[in-house]
Chains A and B, each alone.
Chain A
Amino acid sequence: MIIKKGCNFESEYEDGTLRVSLIGEIDHHSAVSVRTAIDEKIYSLRPRKMIMDLSKIDFMDSSGLGLIMGRYALIGKLGGDFCISEPSDRVMRVFELSGLGRIIKIEKSGK
């Protein structure tokens, strides 16, 4: 079994929309560094909308919920819209436990 090293992200910014695609495993260890880097993007770009793409996440525990909740709150504070996109069934299970599905918009392509 391969022990994967943390979490990375890719980002795109166009017409006021910041899309951040998280890649890898989100736990407490990886969330800290990713959080700082994403927040730097948010503060410098001030997006009107942020989409957090979770389709490339292999693992997520409750630290991922903290990461999502924190970005949702920050974007809200700056007056923007926030949504998550393409969560796997696995990510949805953790997400639903928290009740966040009732607060945060989820985009799914319906695959």
Chain B
Amino acid sequence: MKTKTEKSVTIKDVSSKKTVNEIKIKLPSLSVNEGVARAVCAAFCAQLDPTSTEIADVKCAVSEAVTNCIVHAYKDTVGIIYITVRLCEGRIARIDIRDRGCGIEDVTLARQPLFTTDAENERSGMGFTVMESFCDRVKVTSKSGVGTTVTLIKQFAGK
């Protein structure tokens, strides 16, 4: 497994890179779309020729972020999930997953392993931990009552 080192790509690095290709997806927050979202993101990232492990990392991280939108952001309602995948120079994928849901009151707390606000529905509280472990960078910006954007950065090392 790749470990986080100083060489690991940062969000700032990615902002300065040229976008080579981009896709935007808009989905209603129905749980059936979790599989659709991760499959589309993975298929798009396949252009960068990632390894099967890297593509599985992307699928898992996207699945977690989209599940959060459905389970938490749009808890008792159906809203729209906006996903943008940008493929950048340097074999970097930047995936933004945005909702206009309830927002997260305390992002630092929400990112703690095993923290969940929904234990009775068997949520493991490991969503952000999985995203952080399987991506190079995870950025979360959120405002109560406005929504949340999760940015996943994954650099593909190649075969």
Which A residues are in CB contact (< 8 Å) with B122?
31, 35, 66-67, 69-70
Which A residues are in CB contact (< 8 Å) with B124?
62-63, 65-66, 69, 98
Which A residues are in CB contact (< 8 Å) with B34?
27-29
Considering only residues 89-110 of chain A, those with a C-beta below 8 Å from chain B are 90, 93-94, 97-98
Considering only residues 1-56 of chain B, those with a C-beta below 8 Å from chain A are 1, 31-32, 34-36, 38-39, 42-43, 46, 53, 56
**Are A93 and B1 in contact, CB atoms less than 8 angstroms apart?**
yes
Interface of A is mostly: helix
| Residue in B53, B59, B130 whose beta carbon sits within 8 Å of that of A62 in the complex | B130
Q: Is A53 an interface residue (CB 8 A)?
A: no
Interface of B is mostly: helix
Q: Is A9 an interface residue (CB 8 A)?
A: no
Q: How far is the CB of B76 from chain A (nearest CB, A)?
A: 16
Considering only residues 128-156 of chain B, those with a C-beta below 8 Å from chain A are 129-130, 133
Considering only residues 29-73 of chain A, those with a C-beta below 8 Å from chain B are 29, 31-32, 35, 59-63, 65-67, 69-70
Closest to A64 in B: B124
Which A-B residue pairs are the 3 nearest by beta carbons?
A: A29-B31, A66-B122, A62-B126
Taking A4-B35, A28-B70 as known contacts, 13 extra A-B pairs with beta carbons closer than 8 A to each other, sorted by chain A number, are: A1-B46, A35-B122, A61-B60, A61-B67, A62-B125, A62-B127, A66-B123, A70-B122, A90-B53, A90-B56, A93-B1, A93-B133, A97-B129
A sample of 29 cross-chain residue pairs with beta-carbon separation below 8 angstroms, ordered by A number, consists of A1-B42, A1-B46, A3-B36, A4-B35, A5-B35, A25-B35, A27-B31, A27-B35, A27-B63, A28-B70, A29-B31, A29-B35, A31-B122, A59-B56, A62-B64, A62-B123, A62-B124, A62-B125, A62-B127, A62-B129, A62-B130, A63-B123, A65-B126, A66-B121, A66-B123, A66-B124, A69-B122, A97-B126, A97-B129
